[in-house]
Protein backbone atom coordinates (compact mmCIF):
# COMPACT_ATOMS: atom_id res chain seq x y z
CA UNK A 1 0.00 0.00 0.00
CA UNK A 2 2.93 2.33 0.54
CA UNK A 3 1.61 4.15 3.61
CA UNK A 4 -0.51 3.90 6.69
CA UNK A 5 -2.87 6.44 5.09
CA UNK A 6 -3.44 4.08 2.15
CA UNK A 7 -4.24 1.31 4.64
CA UNK A 8 -6.79 3.58 6.34
CA UNK A 9 -8.37 4.17 2.93
CA UNK A 10 -8.75 0.41 2.50
CA UNK A 11 -10.26 0.21 5.99
CA UNK A 12 -12.83 2.78 4.87
CA UNK A 13 -13.71 0.50 1.96
CA UNK A 14 -13.98 -2.41 4.37
CA UNK A 15 -16.21 -0.42 6.71
CA UNK A 16 -18.67 0.20 3.87
CA UNK A 17 -18.63 -3.44 2.80
CA UNK A 18 -18.18 -5.50 5.91
CA UNK A 19 -21.13 -4.13 7.85
CA UNK A 20 -23.48 -5.31 5.13
CA UNK A 21 -21.56 -8.54 4.70
CA UNK A 22 -21.95 -9.29 8.41
CA UNK A 23 -25.67 -8.48 8.21
CA UNK A 24 -26.11 -10.90 5.31
CA UNK A 25 -24.09 -13.54 7.14
CA UNK A 26 -26.42 -13.17 10.13
CA UNK A 27 -29.37 -13.82 7.88
CA UNK A 28 -27.84 -16.69 5.92
CA UNK A 29 -25.05 -18.49 7.79
CA UNK A 30 -25.39 -22.23 8.19
CA UNK A 31 -24.60 -23.99 11.47
CA UNK A 32 -21.39 -25.25 9.88
CA UNK A 33 -20.36 -21.71 8.93
CA UNK A 34 -21.11 -20.42 12.43
CA UNK A 35 -18.98 -23.24 13.85
CA UNK A 36 -16.17 -22.25 11.45
CA UNK A 37 -16.38 -18.67 12.73
CA UNK A 38 -16.12 -19.93 16.31
CA UNK A 39 -13.02 -21.94 15.38
CA UNK A 40 -11.55 -18.92 13.59
CA UNK A 41 -11.94 -16.86 16.78
CA UNK A 42 -10.12 -19.55 18.73
CA UNK A 43 -7.36 -19.62 16.10
CA UNK A 44 -6.82 -15.85 16.41
CA UNK A 45 -6.53 -16.16 20.18
CA UNK A 46 -4.19 -19.15 19.91
CA UNK A 47 -1.93 -17.29 17.49
CA UNK A 48 -1.72 -14.32 19.84
CA UNK A 49 -1.07 -16.55 22.84
CA UNK A 50 1.75 -18.25 20.91
CA UNK A 51 3.36 -14.87 20.20
CA UNK A 52 2.44 -14.80 16.50
CA UNK A 53 0.83 -11.77 14.91
CA UNK A 54 -2.39 -13.61 14.00
CA UNK A 55 -2.71 -11.78 10.67
CA UNK A 56 -3.48 -14.90 8.65
CA UNK A 57 -6.03 -16.01 11.23
CA UNK A 58 -7.66 -12.57 11.36
CA UNK A 59 -7.89 -12.34 7.57
CA UNK A 60 -9.40 -15.82 7.46
CA UNK A 61 -11.99 -14.82 10.09
CA UNK A 62 -13.18 -11.89 7.97
CA UNK A 63 -13.14 -13.99 4.79
CA UNK A 64 -15.29 -16.63 6.53
CA UNK A 65 -17.87 -13.96 7.34
CA UNK A 66 -17.99 -13.16 3.64
CA UNK A 67 -18.44 -16.82 2.81
CA UNK A 68 -21.23 -17.10 5.39
CA UNK A 69 -23.36 -14.76 3.26
CA UNK A 70 -23.90 -17.64 0.86
CA UNK A 71 -22.76 -15.34 -1.95
CA UNK A 72 -19.30 -16.52 -3.07
CA UNK A 73 -18.53 -13.11 -4.55
CA UNK A 74 -18.12 -11.61 -1.08
CA UNK A 75 -15.54 -14.22 -0.15
CA UNK A 76 -13.73 -13.53 -3.42
CA UNK A 77 -13.88 -9.77 -2.86
CA UNK A 78 -12.46 -10.03 0.66
CA UNK A 79 -9.82 -12.43 -0.62
CA UNK A 80 -8.86 -9.88 -3.27
CA UNK A 81 -8.62 -7.09 -0.68
CA UNK A 82 -6.25 -9.22 1.40
CA UNK A 83 -3.35 -8.29 -0.88
CA UNK A 84 -3.83 -4.71 0.31
CA UNK A 85 -4.72 -5.56 3.88
CA UNK A 86 -1.95 -7.94 4.90
CA UNK A 87 0.79 -5.36 5.63
CA UNK A 88 -1.63 -2.90 7.17
CA UNK A 89 -3.04 -5.61 9.37
CA UNK A 90 0.48 -6.43 10.54
CA UNK A 91 0.76 -2.81 11.68
CA UNK A 92 -2.65 -2.96 13.33
CA UNK A 93 -2.05 -6.28 15.07
CA UNK A 94 1.41 -5.09 16.19
CA UNK A 95 -0.12 -1.97 17.68
CA UNK A 96 -2.79 -3.99 19.44
CA UNK A 97 -0.30 -6.52 20.80
CA UNK A 98 1.52 -3.78 22.72
CA UNK A 99 -1.52 -3.10 24.90
CA UNK A 100 -3.62 -5.71 26.63
CA UNK A 101 -6.64 -3.38 26.62
CA UNK A 102 -6.39 -3.17 22.83
CA UNK A 103 -6.14 -6.94 22.49
CA UNK A 104 -9.13 -7.48 24.76
CA UNK A 105 -11.15 -4.89 22.83
CA UNK A 106 -10.43 -6.69 19.54
CA UNK A 107 -11.46 -10.01 21.09
CA UNK A 108 -14.72 -8.46 22.34
CA UNK A 109 -15.40 -6.88 18.96
CA UNK A 110 -14.79 -10.13 17.08
CA UNK A 111 -16.95 -11.99 19.60
CA UNK A 112 -19.76 -9.43 19.18
CA UNK A 113 -19.76 -10.00 15.42
CA UNK A 114 -19.93 -13.78 15.82
CA UNK A 115 -22.56 -13.56 18.56
CA UNK A 116 -24.76 -11.39 16.35
CA UNK A 117 -24.34 -13.76 13.39
CA UNK A 118 -25.10 -16.73 15.65
CA UNK A 119 -28.23 -14.97 16.94
CA UNK A 120 -29.24 -14.19 13.34
CA UNK A 121 -29.44 -10.50 14.28
CA UNK A 122 -28.51 -8.69 11.06
CA UNK A 123 -28.71 -5.19 12.58
CA UNK A 124 -26.44 -6.14 15.47
CA UNK A 125 -23.98 -7.85 13.11
CA UNK A 126 -23.86 -4.73 10.92
CA UNK A 127 -23.24 -2.50 13.96
CA UNK A 128 -20.61 -4.83 15.41
CA UNK A 129 -18.66 -5.06 12.16
CA UNK A 130 -18.71 -1.31 11.58
CA UNK A 131 -17.79 -0.63 15.19
CA UNK A 132 -14.85 -3.05 14.97
CA UNK A 133 -13.39 -1.22 11.98
CA UNK A 134 -13.94 2.28 13.42
CA UNK A 135 -12.45 1.24 16.75
CA UNK A 136 -9.45 -0.31 14.97
CA UNK A 137 -8.69 3.06 13.42
CA UNK A 138 -9.07 4.75 16.80
CA UNK A 139 -6.64 2.26 18.36
CA UNK A 140 -4.08 3.16 15.70
CA UNK A 141 -4.46 6.80 16.70
CA UNK A 142 -4.24 6.05 20.41
CA UNK A 143 -1.17 3.89 19.78
CA UNK A 144 0.53 6.75 17.94
CA UNK A 145 0.60 4.93 14.60
CA UNK A 146 -1.80 7.38 12.92
CA UNK A 147 -2.06 11.09 13.36
CA UNK A 148 -5.35 12.08 14.86
CA UNK A 149 -8.07 12.00 12.26
CA UNK A 150 -11.74 12.41 12.56
CA UNK A 151 -13.04 8.90 12.00
CA UNK A 152 -16.68 8.56 11.13
CA UNK A 153 -18.91 8.91 14.11
CA UNK A 154 -20.52 5.74 15.36
CA UNK A 155 -24.23 6.56 15.48
CA UNK A 156 -25.52 6.45 19.06
CA UNK A 157 -27.70 3.43 18.26
CA UNK A 158 -24.56 1.51 17.16
CA UNK A 159 -22.47 2.12 20.28
CA distance 60 to 49: 18
Cα angle 89, 94, 95; round to 5: 100
pLDDT of residue 100: 77
pLDDT of residue 156: 60
pLDDT of residue 114: 98
pLDDT of residue 158: 60
Q: Which conformational region is residue 30 in: left (phi greater than 0), alpha (psi within -120 to 50 degrees), or beta?
A: beta
pLDDT of residue 157: 63
pLDDT of residue 69: 97
Q: pTM (2 decimals)?
A: 0.85
CB 73 within 8 A of CB 93: no
- Write out residues in the chain with pLDDT < 50, as ranges: none
CA distance 59 to 110: 12
CA distance 115 to 111: 6
Amino acid sequence: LGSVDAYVQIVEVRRVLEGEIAALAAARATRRQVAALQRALAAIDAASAAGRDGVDEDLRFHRLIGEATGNPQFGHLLGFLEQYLREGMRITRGNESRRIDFMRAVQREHRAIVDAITARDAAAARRAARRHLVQGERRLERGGVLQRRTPPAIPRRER
